Structure 1
Amino acid sequence: MLQPNLIAVEACPIGDGLHIRPTPRVPAGRGGLDFVDRERGGPVLDSGRAASVRHTFFIERFMSLTIFDKGENNVIDVDPRDQDNQAGKIYINGDNNYIRIGRGCISDKDMHIVIESNGRFDVGDDVRLSMANIYVGPGSVLRIGDRTGFTGLVHLNPVETKAIEIGSDCSIASGVWMTTSDFHSIISRTGGTRLNPAKSVRVGNHVWIANHATLLKGSVIGDNAIIGAHAVVTGTVPPHCVAAGNPARIVREDVTWRSDLI
């Protein structure tokens, strides 16, 4: 059942083109609905004329946050009361996705998110997405817990039907990369099987990941852990530990951290 602040987007053929018919669940006067001509790239200013334009798609605008929904049966849950703090672009290329951005979230104009089909993009409350660069592949999942913050350009790539899950109260610095795949197959010459399958990445609660660290497929970071700058993580970092280096290794145990200087 749709909640009052959800947007359901429905596609229906008209003539030889495609007209996207939105079913808004937002209060009147909050957020704008535009149509854009896919071939010309320009706006179609009223939905009546949109019916005669070939290959149009629906855009939902929350101030400078723009969501390009090109698919069907996508559920978008973005509260328009937060529109003054949100910017950037979200491109939904496929169908049957669930997209939620919780209350109090902040994003910059350079945020760039692409979501394919059958995915889940679930962001909790009071999250700072900053200028995140995110690609959610088909059947893949990204979850970010409450009060987690990015401090610059962070790259997140859940693909191959795997998940990147980030807990609550995390601090993730600029230049961090997380991916569930090597993006190329390594093949056994004798058996012909793939040797590097995709694996999910999981980050616990209250984790600090410093500048330009990389979390490769299969990385698991425990609660209250710290990942040093430029570290390359390929396995498990236990809770309350500091990991640094390439490949990352445990350099200190029994620690925690806080964002202020004492």
Structure 2
Amino acid sequence: MIEVREEYPGQNIIDIHPDFLSQGSGLIELKGRGNVLNIAKPGFIGHIHVLMTGDNALAIEETCYLNQQSFHMLAPSSIRIGEHSSFNVRSSINIHEPAKVSIGERCLFASDVTLSCSTIHKIYDMETKERVNPPGDIKIGSHVWVAANVSLWGGASVGNGSVVGYGSFVSKEFPENCVIAGTPARVVRENITWEA
């Protein structure tokens, strides 16, 4: 069973389908105020950990498959996962500075995938004093397949129908229906589609 702990009862909006809580295991921690949590009926739910620290919004739509996922929202932020999307084991979404993560419908994430909107530690240009590693949103289109051990960072955007190859590092925008791979990732094939 999934336990929900609310630091300030009644000062967050919580709408979780009963099957999500009864069929899974793990912990949902709502710290601070103004969190909005909307979780629909799952396709499958295993172990999960959610930490929301205030003014966060997490929406998981219907029939998603989750197992051994962590969601760490440590700054005002939002995460949306579209319906029928699936995560294999040990994936995480980490937000340490204000940002948004949007994942479309029917996406497939293999094991050990990390999404992180910032590097936490700020790096500045010594002459201009400008930050060279600002946080950024992450956008994954619909019907995207992300292979194992992929890292998606702030600024990553993957178009509908695309595939992200094993172990890739993604931090910029990519078009629809392509295969991207590498560290840093680049387009290696265009005009593709895939099926589960």
TM-score range, shorter chain: over 0.9
Larger Rg: 1
- Give unpaired runs (5+ residues) of structure 1: 1-63
- Which residue number corresponds to residue 78 of structure 1? 16
- Which residue number corresponds to residue 116 of structure 2? 179
* Structure with greater contact order relative to length (CA < 8 Å, sep ≥ 6): 2
Deviation at 1:169, TM superposition (A): 0.2
CA offset digits 1:168-198 (Å, max 9, x no partner): 1000011101111011101121232322111
Equivalences for 1:27-46 in 2 at 5 Å?
none
CA contact (8 A) 2:77 2:95 kept: yes
- Which residue number corresponds to residue 94 of structure 1? 32
CA offset digits 1:16-72 (Å, max 9, x no partner): xxxxxxxxxxxxxxxxxxxxxxxxxxxxxxxxxxxxxxxxxxxxxxxx111111135
Matched residues in 2 for 1:93 and 1:255: separation? 43
Equivalences for 1:98-109 in 2 at 5 Å?
98-109=36-47
Equivalences for 1:246-257 in 2 at 5 Å?
246-257=183-194
- Which residue number corresponds to residue 69 of structure 1? 6
Deviation at 1:82, TM superposition (A): 4.5
1:204 aligns with 2:145: no
In structure 2, what residue type is equivalent to 1:136? M
- Which residue number corresponds to residue 132 of structure 1? 69
SS in structure 1 opposite 2:27? strand
TM-score (structure 1 length as normaliser) = 0.72
CA contact (8 A) 1:85 1:105 kept: no
CA contact (8 A) 1:86 1:105 kept: no
Please identify, of 80-89 and 144-153, the stretch whose mean Cα deviation from structure 2 is larger: 80-89
Matched residues in 2 for 1:81 and 1:195: separation? 44
Deviation at 1:85, TM superposition (A): 2.2
- Which residue number corresponds to residue 60 of structure 1? none
Distance 1:81 1:107, change over 3 A: closer
Q: How many correspondences in the alignment?
A: 195
TM-score (structure 2 length as normaliser) = 0.95
CA contact (8 A) 1:142 1:158 kept: no
- Which residue number corresponds to residue 153 of structure 2? 216
Deviation at 1:112, TM superposition (A): 1.3
CA contact (8 A) 1:88 1:107 kept: no
Deviation at 1:254, TM superposition (A): 0.6
- Which residue number corresponds to residue 193 of structure 1? 130
In structure 1, what residue type is equivalent to 2:38? R
Which residue, out of 145, 149, 160, partners 2:86? 149
CA contact (8 A) 2:20 2:45 kept: no
Deviation at 1:126, TM superposition (A): 0.5
Superposed CA RMSD in Å reads 1.3
CA offset digits 1:115-166 (Å, max 9, x no partner): 1100101110001121101101221111100000001110101331101111
In structure 1, what residue type is equivalent to 2:85? T
Matched residues in 2 for 1:104 and 1:185: separation? 37
Please identify, of 206-215 and 159-168, the stretch whose mean Cα deviation from structure 2 is larger: 159-168
